[in-house]
Structure 1
Amino acid sequence: MLAINYTTLRDNMKTYMDKVTDEYETMVITRKDNKNVVMLSEESYNNLVENIHVMGNKANFDWLMESKKQLDSGKISIHELEEVDFSE
């Protein structure tokens, strides 16, 4: 995570925005009176929102944790997938 002040960001906006999007950096823009702002890429934001949604639903969370437990204990099976032609 990077922290820069507002003036530095303003003077180097493109450079810092590229760093956020290309290097998946999260940036804290510091401001007076501790009114800081966090900048992150849209991709990171969407991922964060999706994780909050999935993990915020108890049924989804329990299902994921059970699946992880099965994977960690070696209870897995491998299946061959068949391509389906939906035009038929």
Structure 2
Amino acid sequence: MIAITSSQVRSHFKEICDKVVEDVEAIIVTRSRGENIVMMSEAEYNNMMENFRVFSNPERYQKIKDGIDQYEQGKYSERELIDD
């Protein structure tokens, strides 16, 4: 993660936004009179929130983990999808 000042963000906003999106890089914006903020792409934010929802529900997380374990142990069957 890169840390830059809020004045640098104001001066180079487009370039910083491009870096955030193209390099999948989160940027910490430091502020002298308050708490820092983090800039990230919408795709990264959505991914982070989805992971948060999965990991915050122990039952859902366990089902996913069990499915991965079954797959890795070869305990699965392949099926063809039916097109309607």
TM-score, with length taken from structure 1: 0.82
Give the count of matched residue pairs. 84
Structure 1 position 13, deviation (Å): 0.3
% same residue: 35
User: Deviation of residue 34 (structure 1)?
Assistant: 6.7
Pairwise CA distance, 1:22: 2.5
> Structure 2-normalised TM-score?
0.85
Q: Which residue of 2 aligns with 1:43?
A: 43
How far did 1:82 drift? 2.1
Q: Which amino acid aligns with 2:37?
A: V
In the alignment, structure 2 segments of 5+ residues that lack a partner are none
Give SS of 1:32's match: coil
RMSD: 1.6
Residue 26 of structure 1 is matched in structure 2 by 26
Deviation string, structure 1 residues 56-78 (Cα, Å, up to 9, x no partner)? 11210110110111122222322
- After TM superposition, the runs of 4+ consecutive aligned structure 1 residues lying more than 6 A away are none
How many angstroms apart in 1 are the aligned matches of 2:33 and 2:7? 15
Q: Mind listing any 5+ residue stretches in structure 1 that lack a counterpart?
A: none
CA distance in 1, matches of 2:41, 2:83: 35
